[in-house]
Structure 1
């Protein structure tokens, strides 16, 4: 079945080869001529695509529409990449990268980085390609939302492919698992299953890989026959044939290996996809022809492999001249962009420095005026407080003077009253003594009672006047020294007024000796030493 399909696909190729052989061209020349004719047919479509994208770019340039300019550049870059015209592709994609960065268009910036990574991968610059895809991944994650959910599967797939080409088994598996697990991933796609087969080969599971590749071959062949597969997906069969060729080669089945390599070569010619991969296929098939002793075929294939390599990937190729120079156009464009960005950043830094200086000066001035205002307010408040304090002190002094004057007046009044009280007590004592002579008389007894009551009233008035001057005196004595008798409290008040023993005796109506005895008992009750002056002590209460 496969051979019938193969025959139907390439009958037109045989028709082209025969006339060439009839005019005396070698088989290799005939093959090259067939390839050229077939490629020209496909290039017609590619050139139409390029013209379409050029028109988009020119119109956008005229309208100053940067986003449309980027779209045109990316379209031209991708088409030139398919034609292996990498020099033009690099110019266009790097320009798109720069413009997308300038307008901060994440979607097209990501696309530019992914396209450039594929070109780098074509030239085995895997580390550069890996960095570019990682940058694209960071941009996609930063953008987030619906776009990230839509784009991340493709980014994971690119990272899986790059890790596989660099021989990183675990990293390849990790990104394939992410692709399979993510919402918009398509684990049933031909791309994914082909990459799974490649991972199995990398892990050494040749049986599992072969089984998966044979299933893919059958499905892709049927899909191509029925026309239910897109061109990019259909190109997966090139690598299915290529890997099956490797497997049969490893198993020693050279005939099957050659058959699969041949089908892969013809699929590339038919689809015009992965043209550069032909150099490896011719090399693999030529080596097998050599082992089978078919030296002419081996020679033709090896020459063809070399011609393809020089045509599309050689340092002298007109298509890609300058690519292998480390300072190629892409690098120069990147460096130019970096220089422009560095200049912009320098200008921005200078502007920011100027702004910072201006802000610093303004901040210092504001701080100065704030400090000045605070200092003036503080000074004003201090002056106000000082004035208020002076007024308060003045009022206190005046109040103290007034209180002192009042106390002095009351003290004098109390002293005067006390002296009068002494005189009164003397008169009362004399009157009582006189009345005692007639105590049998009811009138005399009544007079004695009235005189004693008058004496008690006088003492009551004395206590009121005393407490008016020395408020709380009795309470403090009682609180501190316990229960004192009324006579002892009288004695304390007279001592506070600095009355002599004689004056005290007259007031209390007792002898001076009794007063001294009372003072002694009071000193004992108050637990005072003999050296302590009673009057000084009472003034401290």
Structure 2
């Protein structure tokens, strides 16, 4: 029977140990380890509902007063309370809102602290990737600020994260760097935390002698500075080392010491942890009755912690619900008040406007009648004036058109007369030239030299361009910009080409054009052919019609 009882006690002990180990995940954020928040306090843990309402009120006042920094810090602290109560999604939302405010204010010190808190939140939510990302951002900001305390704190957090991922070499490197940073600024409390972390690494690796050394170093610092609460877990860790190395007497001494300190400060989690460790020690010593008793005692404290935690969460949710109801009532009353004010002001304004409108309507009607009459009279005068101006303008235009037509007719007559004169002159000169050539053929020596001179003078007169200058001037006055437009499209035209073109533009017959140009009909046909080539005219396209289009 005794053997059966021992077996039953052992089974119950194992079950209780499994139960208590599982609870660490729920209450781990209340432990005083390297991942604890900087602003953690008794008030945060014991009265989260009242503190949250205070922070929410402070945030509303900060919004109304425009105190942006206070808005950010209150949001951050609200997120911290939500984290302690296990409301991770709500906590993350508050941390993100605080981050956005700190970024806008360019307060890198507050932003770095917020990143560290966010990283811790990710860590307990088992999101190690985002946790490390947040720590790295905090590290960059602290480095830029040359904040050695912030750098040391962040290095410790990163080392702890790597330890939990079982990357012990990297974890040890970060913890060593954190320890150096704390020592450089003579921060003993920070150094003690790092000693704890390094002892934990060696404990995980099974190097209990090194673990004992680092835990003892941490404990010495805590005892010298009177930090009994921080020393409780270190004493428990020392008890674990003694138990794992088989020194059950020393293990029991350390655990009882931790239990005494935990009871002194009413640290329920540490009390439960101590009873659990006592149960483990008795079990290893083969005293299963005692092991079962202390395991039951540990479970009782854990149930009390569960009960308190549930009460806190219920109170917190109830406070949130009440706060939301009050805010909703306040918003409703404010809206109703605004609506009443708007209705009252609108009614008064409408009455005033109706009165003013009544007086102004009569006066405006009178003014409108008078102004309408004056406007009609002015409009009539304007119309009469405009009509007279239009009539005068029409007469001026008719006179200008008549004058222009007369000038064009005069210029056309002048041009025709000029052309006719040139033709007659050239025909006369051509006849004289022919007679003189006949006389030269008679070969009378005494007349030959004299007649040759007369022929040369006639040829020179044929080639004299002075009359062409006068002709071009009159032609341009009648056909304005004709040569300019033509030269823009065909810049390679010669003066001889332009003479032929001007005669074609006047629609002269071939005989008159040949006389004007003092060339034969065959030469005229060749000149027209060359001109068509320069103008890029296709075969069959009328040359005169093409020139008339300009």
Tell me the TM-score normalised to structure 1 length: 0.43
Larger RCO, structures 1/2 (Cα 8 Å, 6+ apart): 2
Structure ID, larger Rg? 1
Tell me the TM-score normalised to structure 2 length: 0.42
